[in-house]
Chain A
Amino acid sequence: MNTNATAKRAILLVDDDRLVLSTLSRGLTGAGYSLSTAESADDAEAILASGERPDLAILDVNMPGRSGLELAERLRSFDHIPFMLLTAYSDQEIVDKATAMGALGYLVKPVDTPQLLPAIKAALARAEDMQNLRAIGRQLQVALNGEREISIAIGITMMQYRLDRKAAFELLRKTARSQNRKLAELAADVIKASETLNLGA
């Protein structure tokens, strides 16, 4: 087993059965994961409240008190922590709910460590893909916002200096270069200055 690849991956395992919790957590620790365990949804929330951020949560569906599905909803909405579910029965309704909630896997008990490892590996890979996609989305949004501001700043420059579009862009670009700043930053300042002037007018 390649433990290096999994050495830093943290898993939160939540199951009300202490024997399952104990044996699976030992198996996964042996496979190189860093494990936190909780016996209930409330215990798991206390762990998350203490600041722990696991790479993946594995949740038992049927637990006394709040179910694994309720905890999954919180993980999805507030913590953005990927999760997979463990359950005693292959119940279509729960499978549908879990899928709709974005579960990265659904395993029917009894599960043993060797069965769990490939499912965890796949879930962690999907979680990483999703995280990368979210990061790309954020970068694209920043870029789009920047482009939009540059276009507005070009428009303001065209109006103020009575230049055509190409000349206004060149002026902004040269100014940014001479001030050793990014064009998007300069554009934001131009818009701000223009707004201030308009407010004062």
Chain B
Amino acid sequence: MLTLSLVGMSLASYIHEIKHAKIAVTHRDALIREIHHRIKNNLQGITGLLRQLAESHPDTSDSINYTIGQVQSIAAIHGLQERIPANNVRLHELVGAVATGVGSLWQKAIAVEIPSDWPSYTIDEAEAVPLALVLNELLSNAIKHGVCGEGLQIKIILKHGQQPDSIHLAIHNPSQLPPGFDFERNASTGLQLVQSLMPRAGARLTWHHQDNTVITLLELEPPVITLKPEP
């Protein structure tokens, strides 16, 4: 009480201030949630308009669907932040949301394999939208160049990397890389976008072949992701 009396505050007014601050935080969180909700709804409105356009112009529907996928992946960020505004977006939730969006857009199921004891990695706020777009691009690309058939499916597998706090996000696609494929030198328009959106530090993208499967490996580490202790 000595400290309180030093600042000229009674216990009653101290408790009142604390309660007031808690209410202000609740209001702020509710407002942020509402803003994310509205942005997400507006983006969904835009994808709805684009979908109408795609349906009325079937000859250009692939290009329009491609843009719908991009807008959807940005909307996914706001959808996740609408639920937990105080926290940054969790990586495994973003992977799930983008995979569901891309899968339903192109009518292809994408399997997401995340270990049951997977810890909560959050994505740096500034990297969330670029990363969502990168994932959207890589998955759309896998669908575009993948081989369809019995038992063939695109898979995303999350694993811990060799370095502490690093993770591997691998997209397994039953396909072949085009001859002479070079991400740095002759990337397609979509992969050029990936190049320009990749985080400058804490992320690496490589391609590998394994048993008639193309593995697109996205390695992430701090500062792009942070291991968040479970509450």
Residues of A within 8 A of B (CB): 16, 18-19, 21-22, 25-26, 37, 39, 64
Contact of B196 among A16, A18, A64 (CB under 8 A): A18
Contact between chains at A21 and B196 (CB < 8 Å):
yes
Contacts of B193 in A (CB 8 A): 22
| CB proximity of A52 to chain B, nearest CB, Å | 18
Contact between chains at A16 and B130 (CB < 8 Å):
no
CA distance A25 to B193 in the complex (A): 11
Contacts of B130 in A (CB 8 A): 18-19
Q: Does B133 contact A (CB under 8 A)?
A: yes
Among B168-212, those with CB < 8 Å from A are: 192-193, 196-197, 200
Chain B: interface residue total (CB-CB under 8 A) = 9
| CB proximity of A133 to chain B, nearest CB, Å | 37
The residue of chain B having its C-beta at the shortest distance from the C-beta of A39 within the complex is B200
Q: Does B129 contact A (CB under 8 A)?
A: yes
Q: Does B1 contact A (CB under 8 A)?
A: no
CA distance A22 to B189 in the complex (A): 12
Could you list 18 A-B pairs, sorted by A, with CB under 8 Å? Answer: A16-B126, A18-B130, A18-B196, A18-B197, A19-B129, A19-B130, A19-B133, A19-B197, A21-B196, A22-B193, A22-B196, A22-B197, A25-B196, A26-B192, A26-B196, A37-B196, A39-B200, A64-B126
**Closest 4 CB pairs between A and B?**
A22-B196, A18-B130, A18-B197, A22-B197
CA distance A64 to B223 in the complex (A): 15
Chain A contact residues: over half helix, strand or loop, or mixed? helix
| CB proximity of A40 to chain B, nearest CB, Å | 10
CA distance A19 to B193 in the complex (A): 9
Among B121-151, those with CB < 8 Å from A are: 126, 129-130, 133
CA distance A25 to B129 in the complex (A): 18
| CB proximity of B194 to chain A, nearest CB, Å | 10
Contacts of A64 in B (CB 8 A): 126
| CB proximity of A115 to chain B, nearest CB, Å | 19
Contacts of A21 in B (CB 8 A): 196
CA distance A37 to B192 in the complex (A): 14
Contacts of A25 in B (CB 8 A): 196
Contacts of B197 in A (CB 8 A): 18-19, 22
CA distance A26 to B129 in the complex (A): 18
| CB proximity of A99 to chain B, nearest CB, Å | 30
Contacts of B196 in A (CB 8 A): 18, 21-22, 25-26, 37
CA distance A37 to B133 in the complex (A): 19
The residue of chain A having its C-beta at the shortest distance from the C-beta of B189 within the complex is A26
CA distance A25 to B126 in the complex (A): 19
Contacts of B133 in A (CB 8 A): 19
Contacts of A37 in B (CB 8 A): 196
CA distance A21 to B129 in the complex (A): 13
The residue of chain B having its C-beta at the shortest distance from the C-beta of A16 within the complex is B126
